[in-house]
Amino acid sequence: MAIRILLVEDDENIRNTVKAFLSDVGYKVDAYLDGNEAHSKFYDNTYQLVILDIMLPGMGGHELLKEFRKLNNTPVLMMTALSDDESQIRAFDAEADDYVTKPFKIQLLMKRVESLLRRSGAVAKVLHHGKLTLLPEDFKAIYDGMELTLALKEFEILMLLAGNKGRTLSCRRSLPFLPQKLS
């Protein structure tokens, strides 16, 4: 399963550079310059990481972060020119997972991305949830020692649920995983 990253940055040069570096190492990156557009895309796709500027056209970064946290616990890396303590504290209070200030070295950003993905389990070869074992690279699920026969969509739904244990998923967040026609 490809790692999908949502990048929200209004500076075209930074957005294109970060997207290029992330894409070069194999991540699927959806990049937007506007907070409102990013907000709607977050409902349409499953992301393993969000990289978010604070000062954006439309919905601002802090507001987007609060909206994202209503849906799930996808790691969020704030990437902003605001280096003051108050901005950083506000971001962490809103449950940001990491914070990097501009200008930054791209290698440092890439290491932060790798770290967040590793800690979230998105790059783990094996995920354990009680008696359930998920093998994302192989699209396999094993429950209590027995392999489950699942269609790809069923596996994606199981990954979504396992990755959001203890959280209520909105209908809009779950819709991309449901069949278009229910019999």
What's the pTM? 0.69
136-146: per-residue pLDDT in tens?
A: 777 888 888 88
Residue type, 107: Q
Structure tokens given for 14: 């930074």
Q: In this structure, how many other beta carbons lie within 10 angstroms of the beta carbon of residue 51?
A: 27
Distance CA 122, CA 159 (A): 10
CA distance 51 to 76: 6
Q: What are 173-182's contacts with CB under 8 Å, separation 24+?
A: 173/43, 173/71, 173/72, 175/43, 176/44, 176/45, 176/46, 177/46, 177/153, 179/153
| Lowest mean pLDDT across 135-139, 162-166, 176-180 | 176-180
CB 104 within 8 A of CB 17: no
Q: Indicate if the pLDDT at residue 175 is higher than 60.
A: no
Domain boundaries, the chain: 4-120, 127-177
- Answer yes or no: CATH 1.10.10.10 is held by domain 127-177: yes
CA distance readout (Å), 157 to 2, 36, 164, 169, 178: 15, 26, 11, 11, 8
Distance CA(107)–CA(37), nearest Å, equals: 28
* Helix (H), strand (E) at residue 148: strand 146-148
Dist CA 173 CA 50 (whole Å): 15
Residue 57 makes CB contacts below 8 A (sequence gap 6+) with: 10, 33, 34, 35, 36
CATH number of 4-120: 3.40.50.2300
The tokens for 116 are 């967040």
Instruction: Write out pLDDT tens, residues 79-137.
Output: 999 999 999 999 999 999 999 999 999 999 999 999 999 888 777 667 777 888 888 77
Mean pLDDT across 37-64: 92
Of 34, 41, 40, nearest to 11 by C-alpha is 34
pLDDT tens readout for residues 58-83: 999 999 999 999 888 899 999 999 99
Question: How confident is residue 183, by pLDDT bands cut at 50, 70 and 90?
Answer: very low
